[in-house]
């Protein structure tokens, strides 16, 4: 896979080589209007999708060992669809019905909209950030007397727990699902000019599956500062970083790279 032998050792001349194939380390989009389709058609690039990480549910029996009393809280923080799905799975398995006065704090409109899959929301019970945890902090500050529950994965950012502790806001962390490396053994003989990563877990999965990975001519793209840091910490050279002021999306950043290197 992607010219693999040993960590690092990127070829500085790789920028002169056109990108003709990209592996996006996420599941295949469910719609036909993906921006990756546009970039593939515009530049004649082969774009494949493969999730590098998988989500496993924490069994109810295991969750019970942490002795988290869901109904002892007055507010729940959701940062992803996975968190929403697995939280309500735990509620169903424990035969808990969420009270009507429970407050929900969602990191984005997309997460808030997805929450309606499980409950009917009243506007006064739903609080939404613009996109990031930092945006949500300003909302949480106005409700600092609530008892928050933070359903999350075994691998998560520290920003929310650190913020809650620093501001002395009561918050219980509940691990309800696990993020694990996917089995990528079938990619062993496949070569791509660019790998696009979206989380540090994706980088971890790369080296779990291919411990002798060598970058060579492969361009590495990363979305978000924590992913970019994981790329560099792994001894790889980061070629494409998103978001950027002129390219807020991964596809936008890839296109900027292609144009800057005059690839056709």
Q: What is the pTM of this model?
A: 0.76
Q: According to the per-residue pLDDT averaged within each range, which of 87-91, 153-157, 184-188 is highest?
A: 87-91
Is 60 exceeded by the pLDDT of residue 146?
Answer: yes
What pLDDT, on the 0 to 100 scale, is given for residue 123?
66
DSSP bridge partners of 105: 77, 127
Please, are residues 264 and 43 in contact by the beta-carbon 8 Å criterion? yes
Give the pLDDT band (50/70/90) at residue 1.
Answer: low
What does the alpha-carbon distance between residue 31 and residue 151 come to, in Å, rounded to a whole number?
29
pLDDT digits (tens, 9 = 90+) for 86-119: 999 999 999 999 998 999 999 888 889 999 999 8
DSSP string, 99-150: -TT-EEEESSHHHHHHHTTT-PPPGGGEEE-SSSHHHHHHHHHTTTTS-EEE
What pLDDT, on the 0 to 100 scale, is given for residue 131?
64
Give the pLDDT band (50/70/90) at residue 33.
Answer: confident
Distances (CA, A) of 145 to 30, 73, 158, 171, 174: 41, 11, 21, 10, 19
Closest CA to 133 of 150, 145, 146, 121: 150
Percent of the chain with pLDDT over 90: 70
């Amino acid at each position: 896979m992607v010219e693999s032998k040993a960590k690092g050792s990127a070829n500085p001349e790789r920028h002169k080589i056109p990108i003709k194939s990209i592996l996006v380390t996420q599941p295949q989009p469910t719609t036909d209007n993906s921006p990756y389709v546009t970039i593939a058609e515009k530049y004649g690039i082969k774009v494949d999708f493969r999730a590098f990480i998988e989500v496993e549910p924490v069994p109810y029996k295991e969750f019970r060992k942490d002795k988290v009393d869901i109904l002892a809280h007055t507010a729940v923080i959701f940062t992803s669809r996975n968190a929403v799905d697995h939280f309500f799975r735990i509620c169903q398995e424990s035969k808990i019905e969420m009270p009507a006065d429970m407050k929900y704090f969602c990191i984005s409109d997309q997460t808030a909209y997805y929450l309606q899959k499980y409950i009917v929301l009243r506007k006064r019970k739903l609080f939404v950030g613009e996109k990031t945890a930092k945006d949500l902090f300003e909302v949480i500050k106005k409700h600092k007397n609530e008892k928050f529950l933070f359903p999350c994965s075994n691998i998560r950012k520290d920003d929310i727990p650190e913020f809650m502790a620093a501001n002395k806001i009561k918050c219980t962390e509940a691990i309800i699902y696990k993020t694990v490396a996917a089995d990528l053994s079938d990619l062993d003989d496949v070569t791509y000019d660019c790998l696009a990563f979206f989380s540090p877990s994706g980088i971890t999965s790369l080296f779990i599956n291919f411990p002798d990975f060598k970058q060579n001519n492969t361009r590495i793209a990363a979305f978000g500062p924590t992913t970019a840091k994981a790329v560099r910490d792994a001894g790889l050279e980061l070629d494409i970083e998103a978001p950027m002021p002129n390219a807020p999306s991964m596809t936008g950043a890839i296109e900027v790279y292609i144009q800057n290197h005059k690839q056709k």
